[in-house]
Structure 1
Amino acid sequence: MSAKFAAGISQIECDDTEPLINPFVHKLELHGTYEKIKTAIFTLILVPVRVGLICFFVVTAWMLATVGLFGVTEQELHERPLDGWRKTVLKPFIAKLIFCIYTLGGVKLKVIGRPSSSDEAPLVVLAPHSSFMDSIAMVYMGGPSIVARGETASIPFFGKLINYTQPIYVWRDDPESRQKTVKEIIKRSTSKLDWPQILIFPEGTCTNRSCLISFKNGAFYPGVPIQPVCIRYPNKLDTVTWTWEGPSALKLLWLTLTQPSSHCEVEFLPVYYPNDEEKRNPKLFANNVRAVMAKALGVPVVDYSYSDCKMMTKAKEMNLPFANHLVEVRKLRRKLGLIGTEREEALVRANNYTCRDCSKVTFIEFVEIMRLQTNEQAALQLFKIYDKNNTGLIDLRDYLLGVLATEEDKSTEEILVYAFMLYDIKRNGKLTAENFIKAVSQTLGISQEYGLQIFDQVDRKQLGFVRLDDFLNWATKFIPHLIYNGSEEKPNWKNLEIYRTHDKKID
């Protein structure tokens, strides 16, 4: 079947399928000369005034928070809530000062519904979490305690302000910290002491608000009433969304400050009272609350999570092809039943993919190689992710490398071995400069220029090719940090046997 005909099938069949959602990508561009000129003018006129006033209010609020926390130890902040003038006078005043900062920044807040008291709902969950601007809801509520990353405590000025809310810090890469966080949430939400409400972003990371991703269970373990809070930004130009792939926080802040006004809507939904089954099952509780919020927001729910963010970050650091789309690839592979089958790994290990030119694979060839059905919509969608120019052809190596390199149990050594096998076009255990550069740049995250330098150093005899074991021996001596991330223990390259066995079969 011709590539053009295969592309036609892919286009027709995919038009009626459910569109893929990638909540971790945000694109922001200024369109038109008018927008660019307006931004330039406001950068010169409006931004300096706003920044000056904002800095004044931040410093003032920080000074007041410093006074309020004077004489209070970290242990006391952790063990009992603030009381007296610190709670009734200073905390509301600081919250008003911070709210003024948003007003000075041009933010116009619209509030729908009524915030509950801590007696009605000890916990508040806010979603979708997409921006540093989401903290406006916390300020409007008077400064509830938040569950935040431990790193936020060290943010200049704002760290002190966050500390004043008596937050619950969590270190996301420390499993013990997560357990302690859950225990602290349960302790405070069921305590008889007058703790402030706890505000939690249950998604655990920022998205582009196109959907609600999986909620973490931490807020739902106590089994207490929860108030769901939805947040929206109905602006023509989205200058607030801060995702894993997109504009930096500094660029977003600059563009937001150049807007005459930015609109934000915060909707307080009715308090959600869990039934007995939900109290016993935090995951069910979380899913049901998410469904209520998704209905109010008019967006779908998608089972992405923070682990998908980490996977996408890893892929980007490695410079993998189509790194931004690998969360969608994983979802489609799950639909197709490929997750857990190790089918892609088996194909590469056994050299068992029969494409004549793996850089130009049609849809029909793709489904035959992957043993899929041609009428499966998910298979068509998966193919189209890699058919970026809509030519009806993909590079199968991009797909296989992306899948293998993002498996959780794969070491850098194994990934490098697979990359060499994929780019060993002649199947003779030798890589030319061009293919060597592709293999190392798309696994070790190095530039093509550096890859060429490495090739020249490994190929000292100027044979025009390098073998994998020659490169690994060279790398162990000269760039070990690329292979085993600075570990004191050198790798034993046990997985090199996969490649050597592959060579013997060819010979």
Structure 2
Amino acid sequence: MGQCCSSKRQQVSQMAGNEVRDLSMKTGLNIDELKSYYGEFIKDYPCGHVNKKQFRKIYRNFSSDDAKEREKVEQVFKTFDQNNDGTIDFREFMIALSCLSKGTLEQKLSLAFYLYDENGDGVLSFEEVLDIVKAMYSMAKDQSATANLPPAEVFAKGLFAELDKDKDGIVTLEEFMEVGCHDVIVANLLLANVAVDGIEEDYFE
């Protein structure tokens, strides 16, 4: 356990400048704010990660503790714990908090794109968009809500065609943002899996 903790601490302490800048862009926090949060995070969690119970406790400090908020926390933690080890690191932690907080539509879409880009190559493939749709279908509390929808693969093909503006077989961040920022229905589809609040129609007026 001590060796693991030491390894994690070393990994976190070596965040490069470009990583900090990237995190700043994704969370909307400036670098000084991130450094301050980072110092507190490592002081409280020297292993460099938090588990679900700790994350839930932290979020309660600035949110109501009602059933809706608890469900939102559970979903965001699950989404960012991509290797299913029951923990998230500092970078994931800050992005997860950003998803839960009130941000601009552009910030939320940017965070969603980062999340959906599973292999980190900076673009979305059809397979990654299909994963978005599959997750959306599986998250539907009322299965009748998806009963009249086409199979996930058919739905994903339509969504991918809409996002892939230049028809080159990939979706860039710019394409993702352009479509999401101009279509409330698509925006809510793209943001459904990161448990942020829905976008209202009047946002686009």
TM-score (norm: length of structure 1) = 0.20
Q: Which has the higher contact order (CA 8 A, sep 6+)?
A: 2
| Larger helix share, 1 or 2 | 2
TM-score (norm: length of structure 2) = 0.41
